[in-house]
A and B are shown apart, each in its own frame.
Chain A
């Protein structure tokens, strides 16, 4: 049914947009105390994404909501099978959100340090856990007629951890480039330098990941059957390389565009490899959750398609507008004068 395919693409798009947007929030959150050597610098780093993180996080809420609306059986089994991992992601995101909002509401290094740790954990863990979760989804979860045979610990297998590491590095690079784009002076230079160092690591892990994916997952089957799909990882690779090149040449805006494109294409690469499954079964293909066996009724899918086609472009438009409002560098003056209401 065409709507199931449409929603597969939309589902993938929502995850891709989430990783592209919240990816830099999470990366910057991981790095804010590393790059921010003084209190003023830390405030600056946080302020580069404080106006934006909440709107970015909603892409996750929407991805989850879309999974529920379009593929309710997948939503139900994914969220219950991956209970502990999702729970930890949830706790972390709570800590991150509250950390960002509360950090500057009181004076005192102890108070700020406390919330800075919350921001760090709340940025690092979701990045890692999303990677682990998707790594395991790519491999397929051990599910069959008797149900789920995995556990939280079984998610921490080598390929899962590798994907986790990939996501962490990817978001850290994305976040560091973002910071270099949104700051000035010494902070900008250091962010750029850190982005480059992390980028070398990222490229190495990405290569290992591409090879490991061939061996640990069935993702390449779709690619071998339809070689035109190789365009996706090809663009991802080129974009990733350009992110490094532009960072070396100190053009952060283009570097950020490149890393954004890379994240989008990496996500789509994984999604395209999964098709038509949403969560393959590693035990028995009969029990894979696919768009065909886990979707809502055609009626519901049609309604949701209409809603998505009307509202998602509107959302993207005003989010782009907000990014443009906040496009300049964050200055020291902004944070020392406590500009704004926070």
Chain B
């Protein structure tokens, strides 16, 4: 294998790992911040215990999001030097801004939140986790605006043998980036909601700490329902943007081979990539795809065969991932709706089948998120910057395959190990349940200090 192939695999692996840990941080930071705010507002110890329990799980995961993130920043230069040189004038800025504006905020205030319980007022302390939550969500904006530019390059000219920025506002207001940002954020919120619901379900099935976990479940269910509904909505808008700006990706998502008008939505498709056709196209809803893509049931959608083979993405992974993700997306709405319904009153504990389902549902939003990224990044191939720079032209020229084998092996080993430890710790502390002793979080003497 050459440097290019190995670097692709490595980027995929490291990005996939990064996106295991980050989305939970995005959503759980908000939930935990909300819990602590409820504590500060009401003085009710139950909320403090919730903050401590869910916060501990949040922290286990948070560290891994951070460390896997540095890898991404380094990797652009290490493995994709030609890309970095060619688009750095545009792409470097949002990354630098992400660090200056968001990373500093989250990394500095997380320290205050973990260790500063007795050193600042309750209000200030609650503020610190909100700053972490805001910062972590804000960092997603910048990296996704950067990725948005890769998908739909705007505000640049080709000059001096590279792409140079001429319109920063165009980069900042790139609709592709914003749609991606909101959709990704919401996917993190769904992951967090299902995580909290699932862990709560485990305890509720054992009739363990009912009040605590009923409250946690309820909070997460409402958060999850709102998020999954918005996730589906933003997903639709995002797909429209893809249809408008990335015809090859859209055609791959839908396994559409021939350009046609009034395209139906087939519920069942079995593609044959080699033969450039679909072996099966069944249960078609007339005009629906055209309608979804362009708000016009008779509109034309371009098929894959309109593009040269070397400008098409791999169809099967993109098509399957998209359907998998979208299908799960509907399931998330259904499950969180049921969660909201059942958690009214005290009836949730008797819904044992539902609770078991929620326990097993924990990994599903993670899988949907990974599938979404496969659609986004594999679907963009062969382009690194859509329509401008091919992935094969972006790889570092001075790096040997041996070096990348070493790094890929190292990442796989280290990340694999850390993921295993992460799961071990999450399971251990999830099962342990909430700690009633919150004295380590309260000022000396355990007395509630006056709200200030």
A54, A55, A58, A87: the one contacting B78 at CB < 8 Å is A87
**Are A55 and B108 in contact (CB-based, < 8 A)?**
yes
Chain B residues lying within 8 Å of A97, measured Cβ to Cβ, are: 63, 66-67
Would you give the shortest CB distance from A82 to chain B, in whole angstroms? 8
Q: How many A-B residue pairs have CB under 8 A?
A: 243
A54, A55, A300: the one contacting B93 at CB < 8 Å is A300
**Are A55 and B111 in contact (CB-based, < 8 A)?**
yes
Report the bound CA distance from A25 to B451 in whole Å. 34
Chain A residues lying within 8 Å of B78, measured Cβ to Cβ, are: 79-80, 83, 86-87
In the complex formed, the residue of A with least CB distance to B142 is A65
List which A280-314 residues lie within 8 A (CB) of chain B.
296-297, 299-300, 303-304, 307-308, 311-312
Q: Which of B83, B104, B114, B428 has the most CB of A within 10 A?
A: B104
Number of interface residues of A (CB under 8 A): 67
**Are B406 and A61 in contact (CB-based, < 8 A)?**
no
Task: Tell me which of B162-170, B246-254, B335-343 binds A.
Answer: B162-170
**Are A51 and B116 in contact (CB-based, < 8 A)?**
yes
- With contacts A62-B104, A299-B166 taken as known, whether A51 is within 8 angstroms of B70 at the C-beta atoms is no
Task: Tell me which of A99-107, A162-170, A250-258, A265-273 binds B.
Answer: A99-107
Task: Tell me which of A179-187, A193-201, A217-225, A333-341 binds B.
Answer: A333-341
Task: Tell me which of B188-196, B322-330, B358-366, B393-401 binds A.
Answer: B393-401
Chain A residues lying within 8 Å of B71, measured Cβ to Cβ, are: 90, 94
List which B149-208 residues lie within 8 A (CB) of chain A.
159-160, 164-166, 168
Q: Which of B60, B64, B111 has the most CB of A within 10 A?
A: B111
Residue B95 interfacial (CB < 8 Å):
yes
**Are B88 and A94 in contact (CB-based, < 8 A)?**
no
Please classify the interface of chain B as helix (H, G, I), strand (E, B), loop, or mixed, using the class held by over half of its residues: helix
**Are A76 and B81 in contact (CB-based, < 8 A)?**
yes
**Are B115 and A340 in contact (CB-based, < 8 A)?**
yes
Residue A81 interfacial (CB < 8 Å):
yes
Report the bound CA distance from A47 to B115 in whole Å. 9
Chain A residues lying within 8 Å of B414, measured Cβ to Cβ, are: 91, 94-95
Q: What are the 3 tightest A-B residue pairs by CB atom distance, in nearest-first order?
A: A72-B88, A79-B77, A51-B111
Interfacial residues, chain A to chain B (CB-CB below 8 A): 47, 50-55, 57-58, 60-62, 64-66, 68-70, 72-73, 75-81, 83-84, 86-87, 90-91, 93-95, 97-98, 100-102, 105-106, 147-148, 296-297, 299-300, 303-304, 307-308, 311-312, 315, 318-319, 322, 325-326, 337-342
Sample of 18 further A-B pairs with CB below 8 A, known A55-B108, A64-B74, A341-B441? A54-B108, A55-B107, A66-B99, A69-B92, A69-B93, A76-B83, A77-B398, A78-B77, A94-B414, A102-B60, A106-B428, A297-B89, A303-B168, A304-B96, A315-B104, A325-B116, A340-B118, A342-B115
Interfacial residues, chain B to chain A (CB-CB below 8 A): 52, 55-56, 59-60, 62-64, 66-68, 70-71, 73-74, 76-79, 81-85, 87-93, 95-101, 103-105, 107-120, 159-160, 164-166, 168, 396-399, 403, 406-407, 410, 414, 418, 421, 425, 428-429, 439-441
